[in-house]
């Protein structure tokens, strides 16, 4: 399976990207209703972290089968895969980070869930009216987008794509070459933060109500939006 999945221009409807979902299916559906999302024409891309922390992880994973939902693999999705396939993990730490729901699944149920998560690419590229839009969970592990596929042969580069925080923490405005815009999640911020051509859109839709987080639905198909 290719590490980077590519999508042609959507000539029927709109394309959105949503931040980390973390098992909040109902909140996501409510957000989609506000933009009158039409699964027959529109597409929803996601920066990953479909699972952990929320109450509806299985429902979110099942969205992979809808034909309109296209996520990349986040570090929490990778947590679940590694826990089931390898098993050599700090279980207390996994629970602390929201993995208790998965640990408590029967083995055959974990297998069905992981089989879906293993379908997720490390990155997505979408053709839009705003040019080429790249989507990864945390950051692009190379300077030029076109080098991604070969870079992902390295486990350390795959880990960086799912875990890196240094661009966000350093407020690094270096642009990723070879792509017009990149959309990422992983690092919570109360509003969209743009550094160079990288847009951080995890605005905390998965957070408890008192934190007033919300799901950002970035309409990447709208001309001039970015």
Q: 């920066």: which residue's tokens? A: 47
Q: What is the pTM of this model?
A: 0.97
Of the candidate CATH numbers 3.40.50.2300, 3.40.30.10, 3.60.21.10, 3.20.20.100, the domain formed by 4-72+122-219 belongs to 3.60.21.10
First to last CA, the chain: 30
**169, 221, 160, 223: which is closest to 200 by C-alpha?**
169
Residue 226: what pLDDT?
73
User: Domain spans of the chain?
Assistant: 4-72+122-219
CA distances from 129 to 117, 178, 223 (A): 30, 16, 5
Q: What are 182-192's pLDDT values in tens digits?
A: 999 999 999 99
> CA-CA distance, 102 to 175, in Å (whole number)?
37
Residues recorded for the chain = 226
Cβ neighbours of 34 (radius 10 Å): 10
Structure confidence at residue 12 as a pLDDT band (50, 70, 90): very high
> CA-CA distance, 202 to 185, in Å (whole number)?
5
Q: What are 98-157's pLDDT values in tens digits?
A: 999 999 999 999 999 999 999 999 999 999 999 999 999 999 999 999 999 999 999 999
Residue 191: what pLDDT?
96
> CA-CA distance, 90 to 93, in Å (whole number)?
5
């Amino acid at each position: 399976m290719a590490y980077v999945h590519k999508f042609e221009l959507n000539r029927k409807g709109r394309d959105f990207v949503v931040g980390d979902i973390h098992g909040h299916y109902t909140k996501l559906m409510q957000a989609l209703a506000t933009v009158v999302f039409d699964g027959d024409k529109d597409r929803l891309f996601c920066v990953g972290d479909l699972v952990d922390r929320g109450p509806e992880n299985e429902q979110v994973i099942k969205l992979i089968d809808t034909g309109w939902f296209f996520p990349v693999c986040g570090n929490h999705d990778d947590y679940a895969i590694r826990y089931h396939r390898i098993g050599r993990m700090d279980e207390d730490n996994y629970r602390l980070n929201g993995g208790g729901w998965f640990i408590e699944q029967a083995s055959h149920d974990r297998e069905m869930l992981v089989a879906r998560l293993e379908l997720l690419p490390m990155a997505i590229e979408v053709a839009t009216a705003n040019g080429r839009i790249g989507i990864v969970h945390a950051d692009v592990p190379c300077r030029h987008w076109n080098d991604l596929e070969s870079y992902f042969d390295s486990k350390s580069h795959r880990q960086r794509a799912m875990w890196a925080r240094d661009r966000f923490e350093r407020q690094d405005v270096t642009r990723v070459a070879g792509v017009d815009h990149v959309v990422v999640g992983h690092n919570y911020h109360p509003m969209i933060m743009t550094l160079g051509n990288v847009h951080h859109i995890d605005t905390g839709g998965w957070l408890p109500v008192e934190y007033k987080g919300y799901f950002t639905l970035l309409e990447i198909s709208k001309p001039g939006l970015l």
